[in-house]
Amino acid sequence: MATRTDAPTRREQILREAARLFAERGFHGVGVDEIGAAVGISGPGLYRHFAGKDAMLAELLVGISGQLLTGAKRRLAEADGVAGPEAVLDSLIEGHIDFALDDRPLITLHDRELDRLRDSDRKLVRQLQRQYVELWVEVVRQVHPDLTEAAARSAVHSVFGLLNSTPHLGRRGLPGRSATAELLHRMARGAFSAAPPAAG
């Protein structure tokens, strides 16, 4: 979502405002009228775009999981035969940092509201997330060949936890986007370097 440069569609505007409001006040604390008002249309007008709030939530959470996976695959394809594993890992980290800094409401939404999805949507989110993790695991093990697959996977999840902590940082204490991105990048690389190698 953060990588688009063209004007957002009305549907994308609705989703962006729904994510912001859901993150601020919780899924049940927001009505369709408020979401509509945020984008300049009536609450009932939203039903021309979505069946209801549940549909918005599903599209937000399934959508961002799909976008992260697609973005990671694109970065791997662009680096194929051109960049070494270190550069590929840096590119993956940069992509996730962009998400963590630019789509904070979606992180909050995922943490709070994932269980509200119907089973099929929740399973799809988990499936997309597992594929995303495995792409990282493969690259991490190329950079750190002494790591077992299990250790690399644990390190990847730990780094995601680190990067996805941005909604809790507040805005007042942050040194600016570029400096924050650089700090997160150094911390992510440091976390991978600190992962324990295989015994023996």
Q: For the ranges 11-15, 20-24, 169-173, which has the lowest average pLDDT?
A: 169-173
For the chain, percent of residues with pLDDT exceeding 90:
78
Q: For the ranges 53-57, 180-184, 185-189, 194-198, which has the lowest average pLDDT?
A: 194-198
For the stretch 17-60, pLDDT in tens is: 999 999 999 999 999 999 999 999 987 788 899 999 999 999 99
Q: What interhelical angle do 32-39 and 10-25 show, nearest 10?
A: 130
Mean pLDDT along residues 141-162: 96
For the stretch 64-115, pLDDT in tens is: 999 999 999 999 999 988 889 999 999 999 999 999 999 999 999 999 999 9
Question: What is the C-alpha separation between 70 and 86, in angstroms, rounded?
Answer: 20
- The predicted structure's pLDDT at residue 176: 87
Question: What is the C-alpha separation between 10 and 66, in angstroms, rounded?
Answer: 20
Question: What is the C-alpha separation between 148 and 137, in angstroms, rounded?
Answer: 10
The DSSP call for residue 9 is P
- The predicted structure's pLDDT at residue 1: 47
Coil, helix or strand for 175?
A: coil
